[in-house]
Amino acid sequence: MNCCGLLTSQKEPVPLKSVEVELEVRDHVATVVSTLNYENKEDKPLEAVFVFPLPGDAAVCHFSAKIGQTQIVAEVKEKQKAREEYDDALSSGQQAFLLEESEQSPDIFSLSVGSLPPGESASIRLEYVTELAVQADEGLRFILPAVLNPRYQPQGSEGGSVQVTSVPASLVPYSLSFSARVSSPRPVSKVESNCPLDPLQYLNTEQSQATVKLAAGHKFDRDVELLIYYKDAHQPTAVVEAGQASAKPGSLIGDPVVMLSLYPEFPQAVMSSLASCGEFVFLLDRSGSMDGPCIKSARDTLLLLLKSLPMGCYFNIYSFGSSHEHIFPKSVEYSQETMEEALKKVEEMNANLGGTEILKPLKDIYSQPCIPNQPRQLFVFTDGEVGNTKEVINLVKKNSGSHRCFSFGIGEGASSALINGLAKEGGGHAQFITGTDRMQPKVMQSLRFALQPAVVDISVTWDLPKGVSVTALSPPITALFQGQRSLIYGQLTGQSSEAAEGCVTVKYSLAGHPSQNQLHFSLQPAEDTGLTVHRLAARTLIRSLEMEETERRGEQDEGVKKKKVVELSVQSGVSSAFTSFIAVNKGNGETIQGPLVRRNVPTPRNCRMYHQTMAIRMRSKGCVVKDEAPSSPGFRSNMKKKLGFFKRTQSEADHLPPQSDGQHVNDASSSSANSSPQQPPRDPLLQLVSLQKASGCWVLDPALAAALGKTSEEVEKPKPASVNEEVWATVLALIWLHGFKMDAQEEWELLAMKATSWLRAQNAPCVTECVDAGNSLLGCKVQKDVLGL
């Protein structure tokens, strides 16, 4: 067996041949149809198990299989019943297909293709619908996950990790074809991707419909990210979708459903006043999977965050892996001394803490009492590779009344269920940093959100014609941010005339000011939407029920909740944690002869994944027997010790490409080894930012002169005589930022505002003379009012 566990000693091949994906985007909702083509080239019946990721909020709504000319459409059934039916079918020699959602994390699915006869091909069709997230630059983000990183299962938690065979991307034996059709009431301005695309083709003169394809020859070696940009994207919209005529009236599928997309606009006067208080807690993932560029980028980001915090706030930094650490025993007041101490510790941080155990540090943070008049803001940075996603999200939800949680998914394969769930339940905002994305602008946008006054007392009221009523299907809105979308689903009951209109009003209080946003909409159902909105609404309701914290965690409460979810899942045909899709080909009644071999079909990995066990499943005398083949020694011992997937043992390191600095992180002792090679020169922006004081000013010294690309004498000589050195240094730093780094303004905007506030407080004379002299020295033409002076 080779190191990846892909082939048996007889060199038997993996059966997945190709993946075809068709994407249809209507405004901000996507329907995705994936076709997986299998072929059994072996001389025995085969069971293929393919574990793959989907977006965490996707609603899987169709699953079918075609063997030869026979088409079988799967049904949604309660999970245990579906498993029994699947095993019974295999035992009696029938073909069967089972699609299951992981109980630990809703963004992982496993597909079992059972009893595929020798030489036979099978085509599996999988359909799901999902909402597209709005990015900072107003683009809508669709992600087709390719990488499923091994998920760390914390010590003492129940259930094992999802079994997935991970392989280097270059060895993935199947290809991907991908095409997208985009339509919207507004023109499509552009479509971008992290993968090569064929040119965008417009289908009408209004440019509101377009198609795009992935360039030929793409190997599914990384997530495929599509960013779709519309003109005037921030317009509120409403879609009313007719119910299914054959469904029972009064049921979710039988009644019309409305989906409202709202973009709250806050008064400018309130938005321009950023908070000068708060408790900022930063939680950084230092598991082995964060090694390399990820941990360096995280260190740089923490530098920008610490420099941008307002005077008078409190802060602390936690980091975690298999264990967790904090810089201060409890949050401390932000000052020059505490900032310097924190930055010194941040510089020493490496990705050397083993696995990904996020639950314990979160419990530690929540056990600390909140500081009066200092609203707690939690920032979580992780590559999201945990096996107990629901447990983590439940903990955040339980503490949502005392803080806001902003989450950042780093790198390929970050769990969308975890990252989105943390922000949703914590009343914050989620961001994903993949490929060549810079972490800093996205994180600084979230800091701006955190410094915005909290929106409280949010309520949604409906005004509908007589005889029409609405049942809310979405959980209550807990967070609103300037320019960020909020989605509301409602089930409409009753009859109305064709011209009838409804109105929804969102009321809230912002910094003591009562505000509201309204949206009027037609009750006439839209044409040709199928049941997309119904399925998304069902998924939203299912997710709410699954996440619901019952006050008494008794079996009876759990049973009631499970029954509700199963009923809704079966009725709507949408997957859940408690149901599965099952299809059995009863065919001509002939049984398939021979022992049944199980193959785990690989998903691509990035360079930090590890190899897992390969299960062989044999059918003997009508019984299904499972037998685990040995995995790599490093992986097996790590699982037994519960140290996590990413504590690097020597046997694992042998399979990894060399690190950029020639080091392997094995244990804490390597952090000192890591610091010995000469550090690369620092980015000029970060060099300047690192010299800013907590108060917002800069000091006139040789380090500042070097950061500005000048000598000490060149910087000191033109200083106006009546101006003190700190004022001069701070004006120079601001001119340099505005003159040379406007492309990175999002990253330094907050710390520049702090510097401007400091300058204003000095009431310094000759500011105009200072700015003119600074421009002359640095070769810039920055106006005084641009600096905010």
User: Is there a contact between 346 and 299 (Cβ–Cβ < 8 Å)?
Assistant: yes
CA distance 649 to 36: 35
User: Is there a contact between 738 and 780 (Cβ–Cβ < 8 Å)?
Assistant: yes
User: In the prediction, which pLDDT does 554 show?
Assistant: 55
For the segment 277-302, the average pLDDT, to the nearest whole number, is 89
The helices-and-strands tally (H runs, E runs) of the chain is 19, 36
User: Is there a contact between 784 and 775 (Cβ–Cβ < 8 Å)?
Assistant: no
CB atoms within 10 A of CB 456: 12
Name residues whose C-beta falls within 8 Å of residue 553's C-beta, 6 or more positions apart in sequence.
none
For the segment 156-166, the average pLDDT, to the nearest whole number, is 42
- Percent of residues in the chain assigned helix, strand, coil, to nearest 5: 30, 30, 40
How long is the chain?
789
Domain ranges of the chain: 16-149+165-231+575-603, 237-269+455-549+566-572, 274-451, 691-787
User: In the prediction, which pLDDT does 619 show?
Assistant: 30
Q: Is the pLDDT of residue 458 over 80?
A: yes
Regarding predicted confidence, which is higher, 273 or 451? 451
What are the E-state strand segments in 54-204? 59-67, 70-73, 75-78, 95-101, 108-116, 121-131, 133-134, 140-144, 166-168, 175-183, 188-193, 201-202
Alpha helices in 231-291 (DSSP H): 268-271
Q: Report the DSSP beta bridge partners of residue 624.
A: 619
Same fold, 16-149+165-231+575-603 and 237-269+455-549+566-572: yes
CA distance 758 to 734: 12
Q: Is the pLDDT of residue 578 over 70?
A: yes
Name residues whose C-beta falls within 8 Å of residue 242's C-beta, 6 or more positions apart in sequence.
256, 525
The pLDDT confidence band at residue 484, using thresholds 50, 70 and 90, is confident
User: In the prediction, which pLDDT does 570 show?
Assistant: 93
Regarding predicted confidence, which is higher, 590 or 429? 429
CATH number belonging to the domain at 237-269+455-549+566-572, selected among 2.20.28, 2.30.30, 3.30.1360, 2.60.40: 2.60.40
**Least confident piece of the model among 389-398, 414-423, 609-618, 670-679:** 609-618
CA distance 49 to 626: 13
Q: Is the pLDDT of residue 343 over 90?
A: yes
Residue owning tokens 């507004």: 186
Mean pLDDT across the chain, nearest whole number? 78
**Least confident piece of the model among 469-483, 486-500, 584-598, 751-765:** 584-598
Pull the structure tokens for residue 632. Answer: 């790599």
Secondary structure (3-state) at 155 = coil
CA distance 747 to 309: 13
Nearest to 290 by CA among 360, 348, 352: 352
For the segment 41-67, the average pLDDT, to the nearest whole number, is 79
554-558-561 Cα angle (round to 5): 145
CA distance 491 to 257: 5
Q: DSSP labels for 505-541?
A: EEEEEETTEEEEEEEEEE-SPPSS-TTHHHHHHHHHH
Run of H or E including 571: helix 555-572
The pLDDT confidence band at residue 147, using thresholds 50, 70 and 90, is low
User: What class has domain 274-451?
Assistant: alpha beta
Nearest to 684 by CA among 612, 616, 623, 737: 737
Q: What is the DSSP letter of 288?
A: G
Predicted confidence (pLDDT) per residue in 653-697, tens digit: 333 333 333 333 333 333 333 433 344 567 889 999 999 999 999
For the segment 109-125, the average pLDDT, to the nearest whole number, is 80
CA distance 378 to 368: 13
User: In the prediction, which pLDDT does 273 show?
Assistant: 65
Cα 156 to Cα 177, 367, 639: the distances in Å are 42, 20, 12
185-196: b or e for each residue (b if 16 or more CB lie within 10 Å)?
Answer: eebbbebebbbe
User: Is there a contact between 655 and 611 (Cβ–Cβ < 8 Å)?
Assistant: yes
User: In the prediction, which pLDDT does 174 show?
Assistant: 66
CA distance 278 to 744: 26
CA distance 196 to 424: 32
CATH number belonging to the domain at 16-149+165-231+575-603, selected among 3.40.190, 2.60.40, 2.60.200, 3.30.70: 2.60.40
Predicted confidence (pLDDT) per residue in 386-403, tens digit: 778 888 988 998 888 888
Q: What is the DSSP letter of 687?
A: H
CA distance 287 to 279: 25
* Spatial strand order in the sheet of 75-78: 75-78, 579-585, 95-101, 108-116, 46-53, 597-601
User: In the prediction, which pLDDT does 529 show?
Assistant: 66
